[in-house]
Homo-oligomer: A and B are copies of this chain.
């Protein structure tokens, strides 16, 4: 493939000249604690939405609106320049995960700090840092060429980290407004700092909370503990039934709809370099533990899971309390693959919970309000995938890997279904970005590559049509 960037484009100089200001702006964004799962941050959600809308307007986007949903608002933007050019819808999210446990952060999660050539803050990678990049690319093209070279729409949501409960309805109701040829997803990551990649699939998700009750009140373990059920023991016993000794999910029917991995897929997966020792060291784990018969990469990309996200019950303070607990709880989420159905999976889990309820324990499954999401797949011969492949090839001077994402972007399946638009992941998270964990970070190198990468992709997409 020839290198199309034979002379330095004007936007490249602009991005370079405005680097410090762009960084300052991102830090402003990162300081808003827009944690969507915690009700006390409701006002911060709107503040973050308004901040994004302001930056879209400052970048020259002629139509920018904050659109209400049943939950946090959507930021919508539109810049139509030429009917004959393709229309890309850019997706991102302005909400972040809770920062706890706070004591494990080296610097406060909502006070961005630059060290080791990285920006440390909650949301620096997932997804404020990545969402910010296409906005700055548009600003650069507006400043240097007047407009972007293709039609652009923007759809930033504020509920990705709680499973996007409102976005599917919004997309369905706004199908005409959002109509596009494909979606560019400013959420996700690259294989590594020097190795670009394109993500051809994500997992689906579903989840619930299990509540166990064994008595009307916590009991003195000496007076009652010997002859009645203990809620913590019951919760542990129940939670321990979800996996068998091969680390497979032991919920009956869980794998019924799973499309088995083909030999071709397994061969593809093996191409991307993977350093097992480095992977374990990076996360501080001592061993791979997962479903027997699959490599860690296969497990992460293409096998479904049932994860226990939290458990609590009884006395958890310092010291000793000789109590027989009356209540205990645990939280489950599942990562799904094609063709598992989120609702059916929770039905199966609910049946499992009732079937395995320990004696003397009353169990309840709380399905919550966030709903679930199916897994997503796109093929490598999609024209926008091809354009992204070539652009990244130029930017890094090497071919990207085709990979998958073990995480979930619930909206990918919805866009595919409602807008008939496939999602092209175009985003700069790194394997060690520590998304969802303490000390989340974003590389300064990514900050530069991503802004340039979006400008170059827009130009290539304009030429290809």
> Is the pair A308, B312 in contact by a Cβ cutoff of 8 Å?
no
Given A283-B217, A284-B215, A311-B312, answer yes or no on A317-B37 (Cβ-Cβ < 8 Å). Answer: yes
> Is the pair A226, B104 in contact by a Cβ cutoff of 8 Å?
no
> Is the pair A439, B217 in contact by a Cβ cutoff of 8 Å?
yes
Q: Residue A286 contacts which of B240, B314, B360 (CB distance < 8 angstroms)?
A: B360
> Is the pair B320, A309 in contact by a Cβ cutoff of 8 Å?
yes
> Is the pair A435, B232 in contact by a Cβ cutoff of 8 Å?
no
When distances are taken between beta carbons in the complex, the residues of chain B under 8 Å from A326 are 284
When distances are taken between beta carbons in the complex, the residues of chain B under 8 Å from A438 are 217-218
> Is the pair A310, B300 in contact by a Cβ cutoff of 8 Å?
no
Q: Residue A290 contacts which of B226, B240, B284, B335 (CB distance < 8 angstroms)?
A: B226
When distances are taken between beta carbons in the complex, the residues of chain B under 8 Å from A330 are 232, 236
For residue A434, CB closer than 8 A to chain B, the reply is yes
Q: Residue A289 contacts which of B162, B223, B229, B335 (CB distance < 8 angstroms)?
A: B229
Q: Contact string, A313-346, partner B, CB cutoff 8 A, digits 1/0?
A: 1111111111111101111010100000000000
> Is the pair B305, A316 in contact by a Cβ cutoff of 8 Å?
no
> Is the pair A227, B299 in contact by a Cβ cutoff of 8 Å?
yes
Closest beta carbon of chain B to A107's beta carbon, Å: 15
When distances are taken between beta carbons in the complex, the residues of chain B under 8 Å from A406 are 222-226
Given A313-B311, A315-B331, A321-B97, answer yes or no on A437-B283 (Cβ-Cβ < 8 Å). Answer: no
Q: Which residue of chain B lies nearest to A189 when distances are taken between CB atoms in the complex?
A: B223
Given A219-B283, A219-B437, A286-B362, answer yes or no on A225-B101 (Cβ-Cβ < 8 Å). Answer: no
For residue A351, CB closer than 8 A to chain B, the reply is no
> Is the pair B287, A359 in contact by a Cβ cutoff of 8 Å?
yes
When distances are taken between beta carbons in the complex, the residues of chain B under 8 Å from A39 are 318
Known: A224-B283, A309-B322, A310-B313. 14 other contacts (CB 8 A): A37-B318, A219-B283, A219-B437, A226-B303, A226-B406, A227-B288, A227-B289, A232-B308, A233-B239, A289-B359, A309-B324, A315-B331, A321-B331, A323-B437
For residue A220, CB closer than 8 A to chain B, the reply is yes
For residue A143, CB closer than 8 A to chain B, the reply is no
Q: Report, nearest first, the 9 A-B pairs whose CB atoms are least far apart.
A: A216-B284, A222-B407, A310-B314, A236-B239, A240-B240, A227-B296, A37-B319, A289-B360, A226-B299
> Is the pair A310, B318 in contact by a Cβ cutoff of 8 Å?
no
* Chain A 187-241 interface residues, beta-carbon cutoff 8 Å to B: 203, 205, 207, 214-230, 232-233, 235-237, 239-240
For residue A98, CB closer than 8 A to chain B, the reply is yes
Q: List 24 A-B contacts (CB under 8 A).
A: A38-B318, A98-B317, A162-B319, A163-B320, A217-B434, A217-B439, A218-B438, A219-B283, A221-B333, A221-B436, A222-B405, A223-B407, A225-B305, A229-B285, A232-B330, A236-B237, A236-B240, A285-B360, A307-B322, A308-B325, A309-B320, A310-B315, A320-B331, A322-B408
